[in-house]
A = this chain, B = another copy of it.
Amino acid sequence: MTSLGDKGSVQTQTKVLSQDSWTQVSCPCCVSKQVEPLVLIQLSDSVQPVTKRWLISLIETSKRHGGAALLAHPGEDECGDVVVVSAPRCTFLKATEDLGLCKKYHNEDMVAFSYHDKDNFSNVDDMQEFLTLAERQYIVKNELDSLQAQKKQRIPGIPEAPGVLEAWENICQKLVRAGVIKDIFPLHDQQRLNDLGRRWYSKKQIWGQPLDAIQSYFGSTVAFYFSFLDFYTWALVPPAFLGLVLTFLLPGGGGVVKEQAGEGVMEEDDDGPSVSGHMVQAVFSMLWSTLFIELWKRRSSSLSHRWGTLNLAERFAGPRPGFHGTLGLNPETGRLEPLFPEWQRQLRVGLVSLPLVGLLMGLVVLGMTCFYHGEALVQGFHQDSGSLFSGVLLYMPSMAHIVYTNMLGNVYHAVAMQLTEWENHREESSFQNHHTTKVLLFTFFNNFAVLFHIAFYKQDLPLLRKRLASMLIGNQLVNQCTEVVVPFIVDRFLSAPHKKEQEDDLEMDKLRAQRSLPPYPGLFAEYIELLLQFGYLSLFSCVYPLTAVLLLLNNITEIRGDAYKICKLFRKPFSAPVSNMGVWQTAFEVLGFVSVMSNCWLLLLSPRVQEFCLEGGISGKNIILVAILVEHVLILVKMVLAFMIPDEPDWVRIKREQIEFNSMQALGQQKL
């Protein structure tokens, strides 16, 4: 997976970072001729050399003495505002075990890495083969993050007040607060990046993406996003095909239900296909979403096995930097660390976060209600008076609504972050999941409130169809523009001369050039885009069967755009090893269930279905009862299907159980 380019590029990039200035290691297995610069710590301009020296020595110190056991390089000189960090082999290997990463054993199996048994693993002598670039950089970051003050002490070169470290205080966080550290980010490896780009978004590569190379360069968080995007795009082919068939081949089918037609004589020819077209689309969409999610779970677990993240031990590692609690012995691992009782966190989530989030969602609904009321009021007023003033007034409600929504959005984001911090999650993934869930709920609600209002309250299918089509096309155009076209133009044309100059510069400046890039905004926006798409598709597609076709077209360019973006337009992000998409997978799954309800409801509203039932002599009340019954049965079918399709392929299950069995055996063999 890690290619030859890996080793080659170190030579080119480190040309100028004089190897002598790196920390000298004493451990014989860690000595190497070439040290690879992995992570850059950007200090403030005004930092004192004494502070920088203190920081470097802390980075270099062994763990036993409260350091990070990493390698540091002061950049050009002692006064410069960067520290370049790397790690020796022993630190890498121990961290690999602590993270619970699986690596290739000598028999080609993926086995949870054990430092004690390291000689039986493949490539263990060459860190650049053994760990991916993303893993190496994450390990360095992780070690920096876990630096803690051993006792109360002063930071040299910083005035008294912000410069006192309490015992067990997180050092990096403190230095960021004190303004010493401006940023910490992983360094790009230009040669590998260019290789990756060539295989990823060049014209030649149309089918599929180099997932393993992405995982190796950007880490599994990013790789899971692109794998999912890939999988999802392929999965759109059947519904797109069905949409095309229903729209263009079946007369009056599903898509463009002609509301005025289909009365009297033409019933026999025209009405049947329409109702059944609707039905086919709804039932298909229901089955498709279940199959899609279940198959993705299988794909996800096999990817996770391939990338060695099946058995992560985050729970048994140290807490995340923002975590606080009373110092005590962790009952599971027996290590001294801050503790915070689980039930207290649950109470905070259940009794504070949940109601607050509910309240803010209520405000969204309130805002929408006020908007509709205001609009009706103003329109009535305008029709009565017809003056210029009332004409201007017509725009007021929507403007007020936009301002209100934006303000609410900002408040919500701040509240969500504060709440999640206050919930005090021990693991980074748990923190991320809770934060994502909160923001996700709000964003989703905000985006779909209008459509739900039209579908469930106004019950106006033609309007829903128009709105859906315009949102789909509009959103896609706007997204593609803001995400790709604009940054591309900026990158190519506006900052091009600036770049040209640098070509001849020293390597050190290349490092510095990476600083000028904006930080990568994270995958949230990317995922939410997919989720909204999936929402349009599964919730309302039986109104507008071409949705899947539009999404398919969009995603094919989206893949390239996102790839270009992450490679060229932003600073490289850190990426923790993860074993799945986390909360996003659940979000897609939940949406699948909600879609059954909305499809049943839309079917019920469809004028054709209502006509059909009236002709059959079924009363309005009974139609609804039938619809409820159908909904419940479909949900049951969905649940049975989801239960029947195993979440991981047999071979992954066997591998996982092998690991479990081996650890049980090992426990049995060992005297405690």
Contacts and interface: CB of A to CB of B under 8 A. Distances in A.
B97 A668 contact: yes
A591 to B, nearest CB: 14
A104 to B, nearest CB: 14
Interface stretch (A274-282, A360-368, A621-629): A621-629
Contacts of A350: 644
B342 A653 contact: yes
Given A316-B664, A343-B650, A116 B621 contact: no
Contacts of A672: 105, 111, 117, 120, 662
Contacts of A663: 663-664, 666-667
A664 B313 contact: yes
A375 B295 CA distance: 50
Given A644-B346, A657-B315, A117 B664 contact: no
A264 interface: no
Contacts of A628: 624, 628
B661 A316 contact: yes
Interface in A646-672: 646, 650, 653-654, 657-659, 661-664, 666-672
Nearest to A349: B644
A670 B332 contact: no
Interface residues of A, number: 50
A394 interface: no
A657 B332 CA distance: 6
A285 to B, nearest CB: 19
A620 interface: yes
A331 interface: yes
A353 B669 CA distance: 42
Contact of A666 (B341, B597, B670): B670
Contacts of A658: 331-332
A654 B342 CA distance: 10
A657 B354 CA distance: 27
A634 to B, nearest CB: 14
A632 interface: yes
B342 A669 contact: no
- Copies of this protein, total: 2
Interface in A609-653: 620-621, 624-625, 628, 632, 640, 644, 646, 650, 653
B654 A331 contact: yes
A100, A341, A646, A662, most chain B CB atoms within 10 A:
A662
Interface string A73-100: 0000000000000000000000001001
Contacts of A120: 671-672
Given A624-B625, A666-B663, A646 B346 contact: yes
A242 B480 CA distance: 60
B666 A669 contact: yes
A628 B671 CA distance: 59
Nearest to A649: B343
Contacts of A654: 331-332
Contacts of A46: none
A128 interface: no
Minimum-distance CB pairs A-B, first 8 = A663-B663, A663-B667, A666-B666, A114-B668, A666-B667, A666-B670, A332-B657, A331-B654
Interface of A: 97, 100, 105, 111-112, 114-117, 120, 313, 315-316, 331-333, 341-343, 346, 349-350, 354, 597, 620-621, 624-625, 628, 632, 640, 644, 646, 650, 653-654, 657-659, 661-664, 666-672
Given A117-B670, A315-B657, 6 more contacts: A100-B664, A114-B667, A316-B657, A316-B661, A331-B654, A332-B654
